[in-house]
Amino acid sequence: MKMTRRSAAFGGMSVLAAAAMSRAALAQEGALLGVGEGLEDFWLATDAYIYGYPLVTMEMTRRVLTNVAEPAGTKAPMGQLIKMRQYPDASFKAVTAPNADTLYTTSFFDVGQEPWVLSVPDMKGRYFLLPMLDGWTNVFQVPGTRTTGTGPQTYAITGPGWKGTLPAGVKEYKSPTNIVWLLGRIYCDGTPADYAAVHKLQDEFKLVPLSAYGKPYTPPPGKVDLSLDMKTPVREQVNRMDAVAYFTLLCELMKTNPPSEADAPALAKFARLGIVPGQSFDASKFKFDFVRRVPEVGYDRIMLQFKINKAITRENGWAYTTKTGIYGTDYLMRGLVTAIGLGANRPQDALYPVSKTDMDDRKYSGANKYVMRFPKGRLPPVEAFWSVTMYDPAMFFVDNPLNRYSISPRQNPKMNPDGSTDLYIQHETPGKDLESNWLPAPAGDFVLMLRMYWPSETNPTILDGSWTIPPAKKVS
């Protein structure tokens, strides 16, 4: 759906702003949007759509990634660990903006009935992080190298209403929701020897319900729902949902994944649409003729944030925010991160600058060649590692002859005689002698992402703007 320039201008508008419009202006705006009656409720409904987008997306992601009888590849039943044994390739469509820098060790589990206990082995100095996301995509805890060190550790993840006593040596992490997504990442250089070393560590991770902690435990097989669409990317499945189905699911999910106290003002407004936490969706309050437009315009408002949200820094064609992982009431930012980078970390752990256009605001195209030059001593300042990843416009990996989806120090890019480093971003090889510096691009449009794990907190640092990202310049 293509929004008009005028309707796009109202895309960031809240229901309060809509309510302040004159009756004539409302009528005109309604005509532009194809909404005859109830324009104020239309904007309110898109507010509610944006508000619920992370929770609905998390649930749909959970369904797809756990819809197997036993762990296999990128999927595992609820409460069982997915141990990614190699980097994803261009066929991976389960999660948008995957990375090719770390091996995932992940799991979805439900802490509604009892806590789950996660045991982490001695990581022997290797960089790792284990962000734990609630149903609303907030990172409520993140044990790992930066925060807890690399020694052995044991955690009990408890539900919002749980009270009890834990075994000695087990630290409690309380989840705000029943849904928990453990989205662990372990650094690996991608060589056969390092793959084997990380696999050994992955196999020492343990995840069990509290009732089985310290006892022999064999997880039950997963239940497979043959009616689930396992081929269409989750984001597309969410975006195809009609408004009634979407809000019905949202209300069911809020029964076990309660909103935060800070959400009360927004939820008080949504009640007039039949959206009340703890209750099923009351579709009888949702009778206006705009129902079919809500998902389209709601999603467009989310994606519009990439250009207009004031919490996004824009420089040299790159855009990034330090507002990931914990969102408060910035529902538009939360929705945007869900749409383009579900599972994003807190900024202290990772930043994800994205570039869709060059410094002259022209879309990247594989028909052109680009060079990204880092001056001497100005490579990305990080305590862990950095990479530049190539995506197609839908934020998935791009197939290429090298099976290379990101470029980082792992490829040992060559330095220029003056100490600078050039990255060649183009469709065709720059030549065998420069392939260590080549990030292969598709023939058509593409998107770049710079990952900075554990960004430096001392000058220069991207966190305070004392280090800036160089542009990817088009060359003749």
In a domain, 63, yes or no: no
Both 324 and 467 in a single domain?
Answer: yes
Question: Is there a single domain that holds both residue 176 and residue 265?
Answer: no
pTM: 0.86
Closest by CA to 423, choosing from 466, 386, 465, 457, is 386
**CATH assignment of the domain containing 107:** 2.60.40.1610
Query: Are 474 and 369 spatial neighbours (Cβ–Cβ below 8 Å)?
Result: yes
CATH of the domain at 245: 1.10.3360
Q: Are residues 11 and 34 in the same domain?
A: yes
| 222 occurs within a structural domain | no
Establish if 426 belongs to a structural domain. yes
* Amino acid identity for residue 174 in this structure: K
Considering the domain architecture, whether residues 172 and 247 belong to the same structural domain is answered as: no
Q: For residues 418 and 235, give the distance between their C-alpha atoms in angstroms, rounded to a whole number.
A: 45
For the chain, the domain total comes to 3
Residue ending a domain, among 306, 339, 356, is: 306
471 lies in the same domain as 379:
yes
Residue 373 and residue 259 in one domain: no
Tell me the residue range of the domain where 335 lies.
311-475
First vs last C-alpha separation in the chain: 35
The last residue of a domain, from among 153, 177, 212: 212
Q: What is the DSSP string of 108-148?
A: EEE-SSS-EEEEE---TT--EE--EEETTS-EEE--BHHHH
Question: Is 325 domain-assigned?
Answer: yes
Sort strands 354-355 and 447-455 into parallel, antiparallel or unpaired: antiparallel
The encoded tokens of residue 241 equal 């949902």
329 and 468 share one domain: yes
- pLDDT tens digits, the chain, 476 residues: what are they? 344 333 343 444 444 343 344 444 444 455 455 555 578 899 999 999 999 999 999 999 999 999 999 999 889 999 999 999 998 889 887 677 888 899 999 999 999 999 999 999 999 999 999 999 999 999 999 999 999 999 999 999 999 999 999 999 999 999 999 999 999 999 999 899 999 999 999 999 999 999 999 999 999 999 999 999 999 989 999 999 999 999 999 999 999 999 999 999 999 999 999 999 999 999 998 877 778 899 999 999 999 998 899 999 999 999 999 999 999 999 999 999 999 889 999 999 999 999 999 988 999 999 999 999 999 999 999 999 999 999 999 999 999 999 999 999 999 999 999 999 999 999 999 999 999 999 999 999 999 999 999 999 999 999 999 999 999 999 97
Residue type, position 311, single letter: A
Q: Which of 306, 328, 356 is the last residue of a domain?
A: 306
- Residue in 369, 353, 381, 337 with CA at minimum distance from that of residue 437: 369
> At 11, which amino acid appears?
G
d(CA 307, CA 357): 12
CB < 8 Å & 24+ apart, contacts of 326-332: 326/138, 326/139, 327/136, 327/137, 327/138, 328/262, 329/262, 329/263, 329/266, 331/47, 331/50, 331/51, 331/266, 332/12, 332/50, 332/301, 332/302, 332/305
Question: What are the CB-based long-range contacts (under 8 Å, 24+) for 151-156?
Answer: 151/122, 151/123, 152/119, 152/120, 152/121, 152/122, 153/119, 153/120, 154/117, 154/118, 154/119, 154/120, 155/117, 155/118, 155/120, 156/115, 156/116, 156/117, 156/118, 156/210
- DSSP H or E segment with residue 339: helix 331-341
Residue 144 sits in the same domain as residue 264: no
Task: Tell me, yes or no, whether 275 and 199 share the same domain.
Answer: no
pLDDT in tens, 309-324: 999 999 999 999 999 9
Question: Which is it for the CA torsion 213, 257, 62, 347, positive or negative?
Answer: negative
Same domain, yes or no: 465 and 336: yes
Residue 252 lies in a domain: yes
Distance of CA 309 to the CA centre of its chain: 17
The answer to the question of residue 37 being in a domain is yes
Examine residue 425 and state whether it is found in any structural domain, yes or no: yes
CATH number at residue 357: 2.60.120.600
Same structural domain for residues 195 and 288?
no
User: Residues with Cβ < 8 Å from 11, sequence gap 6 or more?
Assistant: 3, 297, 300, 301, 304
User: Domain check: are 156 and 255 in the same one?
Assistant: no
The verdict on residue 51 lying in a domain is: yes
